[in-house]
C-alpha cells in the first residue's frame, strides 16, 4: 500500500519526469527576452544534474499584468511553438484517421451488410476482421502516441514548464 515505494521502484533508472520537485530547474532562463532564443537551445537533450529544489511557496497573488505578459511571451516563443506544432501534427491527423476508420466501420456495418458478410478465412468474415482490426488499430495508435509524446514532447515541455514557473514565481494560478 505504500505508494511512494511502489512508484520509485517502478521508475528507478529513468529520469523522474513525473516528480517535478526533484528535477532541476533549467539554468540561465531567468529573463523575459529569452523568447527570442532559437528552438535548438530549448530543445537541448542534455540536462544538468538533478538538484533537489524545495517546492516554491504558493503565493496567492491576483492576476497581474506581468503574469499575463509572461504567458504571452512563452506562447510566442519558438520553443513553445515547436512543442505545440509537434503535438498537433500528431494528434490532428491521428484523430482524423481513427475517427474516419471507425465511422466507415459503423456505416459499413449498417449500410453494407453484404460486403461485411463476405467470408475470408474459416468462420472469419470481413465484419469480424474489421472489428478485430479496430481493436488492433486502437492498440497501435495508443502505443504510437505514447512513444511520440515521450520522445518528442516531454523533455521540451518540461523545460518550458520550469522556465515559466520560475518567471511567474512558482506554482501560482
Partner 1 sequence: MTGDHQTLALVLFSVFIAVTLAITTWVSRRRHGSAEEFYAGGRLFSPMENGFAIAGDYMSAASFLGISGLIALFGYDGLLYSVGFLVAWLVVLFLVAELVRNCGRFTLADVVAARMRERPVRIAAGTASVTVSVLYLVAQMVGAGSLVALLLGGASQQARTWMVIGVGALMVVYVAFGGMRATTWIQIVKAVLLMGGAIALTVLVLIRFHGDFNTLLNTAAERSGHGREFLTPGLRYGGGWTARLDFISLGIALVLGTAGLPHILSRFYTVPTARSARRSVVWSIGLIGGFYLMTIVLGFGAAAVLGSSAVHASNAAGNTAVPLLALNLGGGAGSTGGTVLFAVVAAVAFATILAVVAGITLASSASVAHDLYASLRRPRGTAQDAQRAEVAVARIAAVGVGAVAIGLSLLAQDLNVAFLVGLAFAVAASANLPVLLYTLFWRRFTTRGAVWSVYGGLIPAITLVVLSPVVSGGTESIFPGVDFAVFPLENPGVVSIPLGFLMGWLGTLLSPEAADEARHAETEVRALTGAGAA
How many other β-carbons are positioned within 10 Å of the β-carbon of residue 79?
22
7 touches partner 1 (CB under 8 A): yes
Among 18, 40, 41, 61, binds partner 1 (CB under 8 A): 18
Decide if residue 80 touches partner 1 (CB under 8 A).
Answer: yes
3-state secondary structure at position 155: helix
Provide CB contacts within 8 A for 145, sequence distance 6+: 90, 91, 94
Q: How far is the CB of 172 from partner 1 (least distance, A)?
A: 7
Q: Are 46 and 86 spatial neighbours (Cβ–Cβ below 8 Å)?
A: no
CB 42 within 8 A of CB 77: yes
CB atoms within 10 A of CB 80: 21
Distance CA 114, CA 92 (A): 33
Which region, judged by CB under 8 A, interacts with partner 1, from 28-36, 42-50, 112-120? 112-120
Near partner 1 by CB under 8 A: residue from 32, 51, 72, 120: 72
- Positions in the binding site for partner 1 (CB under 8 A): 3-4, 6-7, 10, 17-20, 60, 67-69, 71-72, 74-75, 80, 83-84, 87, 91, 94-95, 98-99, 102-103, 105-107, 109-111, 113, 116-117, 122-125, 127-128, 131, 134-135, 138-139, 141-142, 145-146, 149, 154, 157-158, 160-161, 163-165, 168, 171-173
Amino acid at each position: 500500500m505504500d505508494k511512494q515505494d511502489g512508484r520509485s521502484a517502478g521508475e528507478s533508472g529513468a529520469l523522474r519526469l513525473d516528480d517535478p520537485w526533484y528535477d532541476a530547474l533549467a539554468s540561465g532562463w531567468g529573463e523575459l527576452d529569452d523568447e527570442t532564443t532559437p528552438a535548438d537551445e530549448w530543445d537541448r537533450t542534455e540536462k544538468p544534474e538533478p538538484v533537489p529544489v524545495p517546492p516554491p511557496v504558493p503565493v496567492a497573488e491576483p492576476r497581474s499584468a506581468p503574469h499575463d505578459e509572461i504567458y504571452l511571451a512563452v506562447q510566442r516563443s519558438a520553443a513553445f511553438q515547436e512543442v505545440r506544432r509537434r503535438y498537433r501534427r500528431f494528434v490532428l491527423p491521428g484523430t482524423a484517421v481513427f475517427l474516419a476508420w471507425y465511422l466507415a466501420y459503423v456505416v459499413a456495418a449498417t449500410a453494407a451488410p453484404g460486403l461485411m458478410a463476405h467470408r475470408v478465412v474459416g468462420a472469419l468474415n470481413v465484419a469480424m476482421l474489421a472489428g478485430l482490426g479496430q481493436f488492433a488499430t486502437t492498440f497501435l495508435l495508443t502505443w504510437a502516441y505514447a512513444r511520440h509524446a515521450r520522445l518528442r514532447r516531454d523533455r521540451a515541455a518540461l523545460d518550458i514548464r520550469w522556465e515559466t514557473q520560475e518567471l511567474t514565481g512558482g506554482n501560482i494560478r
